[in-house]
Amino acid sequence: MPCRQLNATKTVGPDISGMSKEKVMEMMRKSWEKLYLTDKELQDTKQILTETKRSNENLKLLNHTLADQLKEARDDIQRYKSDLGIEYIVETMKDLKREINTLKEENRDLKREINTLKEENRDLKREIVALQEENRDLKSENMDLKREINTLKENSEVIERENKDFRSEIQTLKEWLGAVESDMFLMKHVNVFKDIFIRISDWYLKAAAGEETKKNLSQKEWQQIIPLYIEDVTTIIQISVSKKDLQEVWDWYLQNKDKRNIFAHHKLQLHESNGLSNTMQRLVAWYYQ
């Protein structure tokens, strides 16, 4: 009967740091396959041991049979020794001894094979224990990877929330910066506004039919007068600001006329800082209404 010799090896868990999740799963799959094959070999070994035990039982029966035959032969020899020659008896005894020795040798071979199978079984058990330990290590490392992935997800969510907060703050800063830039632009051109409004009011008072018409002038009419006044080359020549400055102020007004509530505090600044006349105060009040 052939013997299968397995060398017991000490299994060391692999270093899976840096491996991808797919690689770790592939290693676990191979470990399970190896464990399955090892279990199958153990079952085969158990089958061989069962067959060996059955053979031993058969040998025992054969030994009993041979012993009975030997006893019968001895009895026959005693009964018929007068009829048998000594040489025949000696030859028969030698044959029996040879058969007994052969059976003993076969029995020793069976014992050696049984011992080999026992050793293989112990090796298989050690290998199974090593595989189970390796599997536990892989499961533990897999749990560590899952926890690390969850931590990364949580960190990613925190970073995303912080990014949203930063974007909100940046947008607020942009709006604030836009307001500051608009404030600076307006204050830079306060004198231009003053000159424009004074000259517009003077021009209108001279051109209008009377005070009642001025009081009843609508926003729409004012919005028509201002660009006409700016485009009047003759009038532009008469004032101390350039056409470029006037156009810049008017463009700024068009861009920000829907956001005038942001600059409402300029009304007070213009009144207190520049000492505007009542006419100019009314114009500024209209501008910010």
Band of pLDDT at residue 183, cut at 50, 70 and 90: low
Residue 102: CA atoms inside 13 Å, Cβ hemisphere, count? 8
For residue 33, tell me if it sits in a domain. yes
Does the pLDDT value for residue 210 go beyond 60?
no
Considering the domain architecture, whether residues 34 and 148 belong to the same structural domain is answered as: yes
Q: What is the mean pLDDT of residues 13-37?
A: 69
Point out the domain boundary residue: 123, 149, 165: 165
CATH number, domain of 143, equals 1.10.287
CA end-to-end span of the chain = 111
* Same domain? 157 vs 31: yes
Range name among 107-111, 191-195, 197-201, 231-235 with the lowest pLDDT average: 231-235
Q: Which domain holds residue 134?
A: 21-165
Q: What is the pLDDT of residues 83-136, one digit of tens each?
A: 556 677 778 888 888 888 888 888 888 888 888 888 888 888 888 888 888 888
pTM above 0.85, yes or no: no
Task: Quote the number of domains for the chain.
Answer: 2
Looking at the structure, tell me whether residues 247 and 158 fall in a common domain: no
Same domain (yes/no): 36, 141: yes
Residue 261 has pLDDT above 50, yes or no: no
Question: Where among 149, 165, 181 does a domain terminate?
Answer: 165
Query: Do 152 and 235 belong to one domain?
Result: no
**Residue in 75, 5, 79 with CA at minimum distance from that of residue 45:** 5
Percent of the chain with pLDDT over 70: 46
Specify whether the CB–CB gap between 106 and 59 falls below 8 A. Answer: yes
